Amino acid sequence: MIVTVTLNPAIDEEYLVPEFRPGGWFRASKVQRTPGGKGINVSLVLKQLGLETAAMGFLAGFSGEYIRDVLRKAQITTNFLHVRGETRTNVYIVDEVGKIETGLAEPGPYISEDEIARFISNYERILKRTSLVVLGGSLPPGIPQDFYCELIRIARQRDIPTFIDAAGAPLLAALDEGPTYAKVDQRFMGSYEGVTLNSLDNLIEAVTRVHALGVEWVIASYRTYGNVFFTPEGIFLAEFDRKGIVSMFGSGESLVAGLILSGKEGMDTKERILFGMAAALENALHVEKGVRNRVAVEKLIPRISFEKLS
């Protein structure tokens, strides 16, 4: 079983607004409300692709109950710890004309030391029947910045591979523990390296250093519609065109889900990258997060360009 960990879930509210700009009053042309957080998003896409997962983390208040209810109706196993406070709401505004996305994220409820200990106990218990752990997103107040590092260490002690999709200090700490897969943002990598990664060569050097920490797969965003993949088989660049794209919100998690499913099915490195990128593109073609189905993803594979860099 694949387990996704979302320590700071959210209700994602996405608004499509024609010609959005600060300081005005606008009427949204479309609104989408869904459970969110990177791990939860991955669980939802994997379910859409036909793979079962279990989602865990912290939930609070009425918003937390809403998330749990939606996931259960989607037939996703839930193992969340309910805490005091209220699960956060994230707001995303997509300008339909300029194709510019604006986001606002709340911090989330405070997590106590006792609640952290209870979560670790649940985590260790569920690992007994887990084949892969996906760790994703921000940390709520109260959670130590190196917490992902601890979760990766616990999984490695049981020979369970891990996939981390995060940013900032939590990601830096996690990389030191050597997760199996790491998805990083190009802008974050630039900050991490102390340089602007405006060239492909600089980005390759950056992901190579991350790989040297013991990370088998490093996935780094490149420009808006591409990713560089450092894999055991070499370094690759994959991109798609922007034709028909509505919103990139959630495409990163669709990419992760696509890589996981294709890996579980034994596809080779090129096939995994193409399938993952096609899942990311399919997500971007509509305002709703996720993919419509596997057939829709497979139809988009011809739109993915693929190049071996090294």
pLDDT bracket for residue 295 (50, 70, 90): very high
Phi-psi sector, 37: left (phi>0), alpha (psi -120 to 50), beta: left
- If one counts every other C-beta atom within 10 angstroms of the C-beta of residue 23, the result is 4
Q: Phi and psi dihedrals of 154, rounded to 5?
A: -65, -40
Q: Are strands 88-95 and 10-17 parallel, antiparallel or unpaired?
A: parallel
Classify domain 2-6+40-62+112-308 at the CATH topology level. UDP-N-acetylmuramoyl-L-alanine:D-glutamate ligase (3.40.1190)
Strands (E), 7-150: 10-17, 30-36, 53-60, 77-83, 88-95, 101-105, 132-136
Beta bridge partners of 230: 218, 235
Mean per-residue pLDDT for 119-135?
Answer: 97
Centre a 10 Å sphere on the Cβ of residue 9 and count the other Cβ atoms it contains: 30
Domains of the chain: which residue ranges? 2-6+40-62+112-308
Report whether pLDDT(203) > 80: yes
Query: Who has greater pLDDT, 26 or 165?
Result: 165
Distance CA 161, CA 150 (A): 14
For residue range 27-86, list pLDDT tens digits in order: 998 888 999 999 999 999 999 999 999 999 999 999 999 999 999 999 999 999 999 999
Share of the chain above pLDDT 70, in %: 96
Model confidence band, residue 215 (pLDDT cutoffs 50, 70, 90): very high
Whether the predicted pLDDT of 213 surpasses 60: yes
The separation between CA 14 and the C-alpha centre of its own chain, rounded to angstroms, equals 17
pLDDT of residue 100: 82
Both tokens of residue 278? 């096609």
Place 99 in a pLDDT band, splitting at 50, 70 and 90: confident
Q: Which residue type sits at 166?
A: A
